[in-house]
Amino acid sequence: MNTTPLPPLHRKGDVVWEMARTGDMKVPGRIYADSQMIDDLHEDQSLMQVHNVACLPGIVRYSMAMPDIHFGYGFPIGGVAAFRMDSGVVSPGGVGYDINCGVRLLGTSLTADDITGRVKGIVDQFFRDVPAGVGSAGAIAKLSRAEVGSILVKGAAWAVEHGYGRPADLAHTEAEGCLSGADPELISDRAFRRGLDQVGTLGSGNHFLELQVVEKIFAPEAATAFGLRQGQITLMVHCGSRGFGYQVCDDYLEVMEQAAHRYEITIPDRQLACAPLSSSEGKAYLSAMACAANYAWTNRQILTHLVERALMKTLSVSRDSLDLQLVYDVAHNIAKIERHEVDGETLTLCVHRKGATRAFGPDQSEVPADYRSVGQPVLIPGDMGTASYVCVGTQTAMEETFGSTCHGAGRVLSRAQALKRAKGRSIDRELKQHGIVARAQSRKTLAEEMPEAYKDVDSVVDVMHRAGVSLRVARLRPLGVVKG
């Protein structure tokens, strides 16, 4: 880690702070946070990571951090950076190990009254039908290498073709559930082996399946466009590319360390190993990353099918009566080639979002047609015991953050710290006292992911709302949660 003294932060707006460009920085740093968050940030190294990212070749405008910022691998979690295609780089540390970890929101025809007294039964059925936990195997048959290869190219469309969902789901998925340019030939045998039986699994850590109720509507027009109404039952699925994506990242970190040396790229932290976007190594990583992103979208699409089936079974309702609809699916860890305006010039850029999510505003062609008049749905999960939010992207986001915003609450306690804090406590009993049914493969997971391990999601969302980057649409209160 770079030990250079940090430049001072200067307040540039209500919730906007700037780190002056000094030394090897190519651009300033920009942090979205309130005063308390800024004070708390001095306790870890995430601000130094903002500084370090600003030193990478070809970065434009700012090295940015959202209010859920905390220390990560290479980039801070909550980090956003965009690079020129001709002179910039791509860095696996700017995407993360869980490539396309993301979240999808499902709406139903149900109301809170429809499931009174039935929440435990629903959560128990989810726990039986949705594979969760470290090393869990999928609910579908173990796939062949050729079938996994098809998933890597087709993404969520593969799942729909095999009966897991509807074609309409693809229109409500970022990038329609598939990044182009994926090349299975660039994937290692070990990654393939890890991916053979994990499609349709929730995983562990902060991944979850949550039963929720729409508690409050802030923006009726956007809520109506998204099909949300007060008192409605919704479901949120938070997971990623599992062991497959982890292995892809691990494989290419080694490639990138060699590439950085080969191309004589000076980096302040070896975790920022990178390669020019124009190089063979850079192109290979983007293709392999696309494979992992497509695997993750397929995974979430199949999980949606499992959730629908479990609800129909528990409530004895038909598919038509349940009317499960995909509101939206967004990625949290990804690098994407996008067009953005910078200083009056429209540029093609590689936008890294690491623990950050897209927040495209109205009239953008990438936003689903039925949402285009209001903007893209932005899904910001809390964690078990805390609210989640639906927000909407804005033109301000397009102008200031490359159409990006926060992705969640952000950790304030490491897993080890959370375990220590939870010693002698029963987290599931505490959640039950707040009206939340929790099921997990281990008590350790519940302790590691207890609500106080995270920042206050209300405050995080409020920062981006005040900045005009992503505006509040609806607040979702948890009723039950399944953890790995």
**Which pair of tokens denotes residue 352?**
């890294």
Question: Which amino acid, residue 479?
Answer: L
Q: Say how far apart CA 464 and CA 352 lie, in whole Å.
A: 19
Residue 262 in any domain: the answer is no
- Closest residue by Cα to residue 292 from 379, 195, 164: 195
Domain containing 82: what range? 9-96+335-371
Per-residue model confidence (pLDDT) at position 135: 65
Angle between helices 119-129 and 280-315 (to 10 degrees): 130
What is the rounded distance in angstroms from the CA atom of residue 147 to the CA atom of residue 268? 41
Instruction: Please give the Cα distance from 387 to 44 (Å, whole number).
Output: 26
Structure tokens given for 283 = 């192109």
Q: Which of 305, 407, 434, 465 is catalytic?
A: 407
Task: Note whether residue 397 is domain-resident.
Answer: no
The tens place of each residue's pLDDT in the chain, 484 residues long, gives: 556 678 889 999 999 999 999 999 999 999 999 999 999 997 789 999 999 999 999 999 999 999 999 999 999 999 999 999 999 999 999 999 999 999 999 999 999 999 999 999 999 999 999 988 666 666 677 789 999 999 999 999 999 999 999 999 999 999 999 999 999 999 999 999 999 989 999 988 889 999 999 999 999 999 999 999 999 999 999 999 999 999 999 999 999 999 999 999 999 999 999 999 999 999 999 999 999 999 999 999 999 999 999 999 999 999 999 999 999 999 999 999 999 999 999 999 999 999 999 999 999 999 999 999 999 999 999 977 789 999 999 999 999 999 999 999 888 888 899 899 988 899 888 888 888 999 988 888 888 888 888 889 999 999 999 999 999 999 999 999 998 7
Is the residue at 20 inside a domain? yes
Tally of structural domains, the chain: 1
Segment (H or E) for 51: helix 46-53
Rounded to whole angstroms, the Cα distance separating 478 from 346 reads 42
* Residue 362 belongs to a domain: yes
> What is the spatial distance between Cα 348 and Cα 129, in angstroms, rounded to a whole number?
43
Instruction: Note whether 308 and 319 are within 8 A (CB).
Output: yes
Quick one: three-class SS letters along 183-244? CHHHCCHHHHHHHCCCCCCCCCCCCEEEEEEEEEECCHHHHHHHCCCCCEEEEEEEECCHHH
d(CA 434, CA 450): 13
Residue 14 within a domain: yes
What radius of gyration, in Å, describes the C-alpha atoms of the chain?
A: 21
> What phi and psi, each to the nearest 5 degrees, are found at residue 349?
-130, 155
* Burial class for 341, CB neighbours closer than 10 Å (0-12, 13-18, 19+): exposed
User: Residue 315: enclosing H or E segment and its boundaries?
Assistant: helix 280-315
Per-residue confidence (pLDDT) for residue 24, from 0 to 100: 95
What local confidence, expressed as pLDDT, does residue 455 receive? Answer: 87
- Are the beta carbons of 93 and 79 closer than 8 angstroms? no
Is the residue at 439 inside a domain?
Answer: no
| 407 noted as active-site residue | yes
Other CB atoms closer than 10 Å to residue 77's CB: what's the count? 24
9 touches 40 (CB < 8 A):
no
DSSP 371: G
The answer to whether residues 272 and 323 touch, using CB atoms and an 8 Å cutoff, is no
Q: Is residue 72 part of a domain?
A: yes
User: Per the domain annotation, does 364 fall within a domain?
Assistant: yes
Q: Is 157 helix (H, G, I), strand (E, B) or coil?
A: helix
